[in-house]
């Protein structure tokens, strides 16, 4: 097996035979001519023919890949009318008294080099375009047709690089993937591969040798790896990865943009859980309606010292802006228990899960809490942000939180720093105490989010970290479900909304039960948003 690392331009896995793209060979010779006017006319005629071909290609691309991507062939037509390009060709023909082929090839090389040496990645990508369009004129001048090899079976196309026109002319139904030695992620070939939903890796270098033509290969478009002659284990692993990816893509096709609604019309919000800004892409890709839990403690876990207000503000603002008005619920830091951070200097405890963690740290070390709250209230200006607090067990904790919020707002106001006044506030329901007093808590906040991971641990007295107890850790336990129902009833009795952000929210065996309880929201890992939407739409 040969493993070659490249750069992924489109995810997905493709498995099949490698076929090297072969172009019709033409040799461009420098020839002396005696009639420069006639040679220039010969070029103009070829250029006219090339423009006609590009018009046809534009129509084909319009159908296959849409207007935005078809534009490239209009740009190619414009390149052929570019005065600098034409002047260069005419000047070479007349001053050097040489054939049009040589003048076009030389101009193409010069222009491509000029583009490639520019700082701007977009302009660098144009080097491939000027070569592509010049090749077209050269084919016409040399009397050869553009080189598309007949494809008898679906295969992975390998090439040094593929020009946009070469890409669009391939029989899409037979292309499993693209693997190229060179190319940039901004090239139109890369853009077309993404639009055509075809896994692609570029920049594989010269290790991608044409001696592999006809061999079995796998493109892992997620990691940018090309496997040639994969061994059994790799092939099996890649087949499984491909099956999962196809299943997810199928779900996306069916369900993207659809409502989370049952057959009888009951609606529920499906949001996503994240730990980091890098998860945002997955949230948007999987069409989540919002972020139901941003575990902000990951910011602290990834840092070697307390993240500053500015650092936090930048992250929260980015998340709020990226979600463009959709709800973003940020949970204040939940450090302690299994999430230990050295610079917090927490004492070693006998029972960390029952110890000094989450809101207990925030309320006793308000300087840490206030920094986070300042960042959150400032970021709230940039989107639809809500704040929720973990491990709540009493109304007095909520009252203390509100006092601290009032101080933070007063300080921001005095400093003239913009912030949002009325941010939605919620508490996590993850202790039996919170469930039992949920009617009182509901009077104090705007929403509840049930943390079933901890609620199960504290209800069943089972350490969620202890593997030996896995068979006893039963989140379907009637006591846990009764707790969720009680919290839901109390939230609704006070006109507040309630969701689940613990793992149980994604348990499809319980979706129907949660709908019956009248839960308003379920927040799950991004990849589980669409399977959950599917399940909801199957429920009565
Ligand atoms: C929970 O306890 O269910 C929860 C969502 O919080 P975490 O898993 O981060 O403790
Ligand atoms: Mg928890």
Superfamily the domain 255-538 falls into = Phosphoenolpyruvate-binding domains (3.20.20.60)
| For residues 177-199, average pLDDT | 77
pLDDT in tens, 516-538: 999 999 999 888 899 999 999 99
Per-residue pLDDT, 188: 63
Task: Tell me, using a 6 A CB cutoff, whether residue 501 lines ligand 1.
Answer: yes
**Total number of residues shown for the chain:** 540
pLDDT in tens, 274-320: 988 988 988 998 899 999 999 999 999 888 999 999 999 999 999 99
Q: Ligand 1 mean position to 359 CA, how many Å?
A: 13
Per-residue pLDDT, 426: 98
Q: Ligand 2 mean position to 429 CA, how many Å?
A: 9
Per-residue pLDDT, 457: 94
* Residue 432 dihedral angles phi and psi, to the nearest 5°: -55, -30
What's the mean per-residue pLDDT of the chain?
Answer: 92
| For residues 44-53, average pLDDT | 95
Per-residue pLDDT, 186: 61
| 115 or 407: which leads in pLDDT | 407
Q: What residue owns the CA closest to ligand 1's atom 9?
A: 295
| 268 or 139: which leads in pLDDT | 268
Per-residue pLDDT, 147: 55
Q: Is the pLDDT of residue 30 over 90?
A: yes
Q: Which whole-number Å values give the CA distances from 471 to 432, 464, 474, in the listed order?
A: 21, 11, 7
User: What's the pLDDT band for 185 if we cut at 50, 70, 90?
Assistant: low
Reduced to 3 states, what is the DSSP secondary structure of residue 471? coil
The second-level CATH assignment, the architecture, of 2-19+149-251 is 3-Layer(bba) Sandwich (3.50)
C-beta separation of 523 from 500 below 8 A: yes
| For residues 162-185, average pLDDT | 81
- Residue 313: CB partners within 8 Å, gap ≥ 6? 374, 375, 378, 379
188 in catalytic set: yes
Tell the burial category of 433 from Cβ atoms under 10 Å away from its Cβ (0-12, 13-18, 19+): middle
Q: Is the pLDDT of residue 22 over 90?
A: no
Task: Tell me, using a 6 A CB cutoff, whether residue 295 lines ligand 1.
Answer: yes
Closest ligand 1 atom to 273 CA: 5
| 273 or 467: which leads in pLDDT | 273
Q: Work out the angle between the directed axes of helices 100-116 and 83-96 (0-180°, nearest 10).
A: 130
Kindly report which listed range (190-194, 200-204, 429-433) carries the lowest average pLDDT score.
190-194
Task: Tell me, using a 6 A CB cutoff, whether residue 353 lines ligand 1.
Answer: no
142 in catalytic set: no
pLDDT in tens, 120-136: 877 887 888 899 899 99
Per-residue pLDDT, 23: 74
User: What's the pLDDT band for 148 if we cut at 50, 70, 90?
Assistant: low
Could you tell me the fold of the domain covering 36-142?
Enzyme I; Chain A, domain 2 (1.10.274)
How is the chain split into domains, by residue range?
Answer: 2-19+149-251, 36-142, 255-538
Tell the burial category of 185 from Cβ atoms under 10 Å away from its Cβ (0-12, 13-18, 19+): middle
Q: What percent of the chain has pLDDT over 70?
A: 97
Question: What global pTM score does this model have?
Answer: 0.66
| For residues 146-156, average pLDDT | 74
Q: What residue owns the CA closest to ligand 1's atom 1?
A: 451
Reduced to 3 states, what is the DSSP secondary structure of residue 424? strand
pLDDT in tens, 463-499: 888 878 888 989 999 999 999 999 999 999 999 999 9
Per-residue pLDDT, 149: 59
């Amino acid at each position: 097996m040969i493993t070659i690392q490249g750069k992924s331009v489109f995810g997905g896995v493709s498995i099949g035979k490698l076929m090297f793209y072969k172009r019709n060979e033409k040799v461009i010779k420098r020839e002396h001519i005696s009639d420069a006017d006639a040679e220039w006319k010969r070029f103009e005629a070829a250029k006219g023919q090339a423009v006609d071909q590009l018009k046809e290609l534009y129509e084909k691309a319009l159908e296959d890949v849409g207007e935005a991507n078809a534009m490239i062939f209009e740009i190619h037509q414009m390149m052929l009318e570019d005065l600098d390009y034409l002047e260069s060709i005419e000047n070479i023909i007349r001053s050097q008294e040489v054939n049009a082929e040589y003048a076009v090839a030389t101009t193409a090389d010069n222009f491509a080099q000029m583009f490639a040496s520019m700082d701007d990645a977009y302009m660098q990508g144009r080097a491939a375009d000027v070569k592509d369009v010049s090749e077209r004129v050269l084919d016409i001048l040399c009397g050869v047709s553009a080189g598309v090899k007949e494809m008898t079976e679906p295969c992975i196309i390998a090439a040094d690089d593929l020009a946009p026109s070469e890409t669009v002319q391939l029989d899409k139904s037979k292309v499993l993937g693209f693997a190229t030695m060179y190319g940039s992620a901004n090239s139109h070939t890369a853009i077309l591969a993404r639009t055509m939903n075809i896994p692609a890796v570029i920049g594989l270098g010269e290790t991608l040798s044409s001696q592999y033509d006809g061999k079995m290969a796998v493109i892992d478009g997620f990691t940018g790896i090309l496997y040639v002659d994969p061994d059994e284990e790799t092939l099996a692993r890649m087949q499984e990865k491909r099956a999962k990816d196809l299943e997810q893509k199928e779900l996306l096709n069916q369900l993207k943009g659809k409502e989370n609604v049952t057959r009888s019309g009951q609606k529920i919000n499906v949001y996503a859980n994240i730990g980091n800004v890098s998860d945002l892409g997955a949230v948007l890709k999987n069409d989540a309606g919002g972020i139901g839990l941003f575990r902000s403690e990951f910011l602290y876990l990834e840092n070697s010292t307390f993240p500053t207000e500015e650092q936090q503000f930048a992250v929260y603002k980015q998340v709020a802006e990226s979600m463009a008005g959709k709800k973003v619920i940020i949970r204040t830091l939940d450090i302690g228990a299994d999430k230990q951070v050295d610079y917090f200097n927490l004492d070693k405890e006998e029972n960390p899960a029952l110890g000094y963690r989450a809101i207990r740290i925030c309320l006793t070390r308000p300087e840490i809490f206030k920094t986070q709250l300042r960042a959150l209230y400032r970021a709230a200006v940039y989107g639809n942000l809500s704040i929720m607090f973990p491990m709540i067990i009493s109304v007095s904790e909520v009252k203390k939180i509100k006092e601290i919020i009032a101080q933070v707002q007063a300080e921001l106001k005095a400093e003239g720093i913009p912030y949002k006044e009325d941010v939605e506030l919620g508490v996590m329901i993850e202790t039996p105490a919170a469930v039992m007093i949920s009617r009182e808590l509901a009077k104090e906040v705007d929403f509840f989010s049930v943390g079933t991971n901890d609620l199960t641990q504290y209800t069943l007295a089972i350490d969620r970290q202890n593997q030996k107890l896995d068979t006893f850790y039963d989140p379907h336990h009637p006591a846990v479900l009764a707790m969720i129902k009680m919290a839901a009833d109390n939230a609704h009795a006070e006109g507040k909304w309630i969701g689940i952000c613990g793992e149980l929210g994604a348990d499809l065996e319980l979706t129907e039960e949660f709908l019956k309880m009248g839960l308003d929201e379920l927040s799950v890992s991004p990849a589980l948003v669409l399977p959950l939407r599917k399940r909801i739409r199957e429920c009565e």
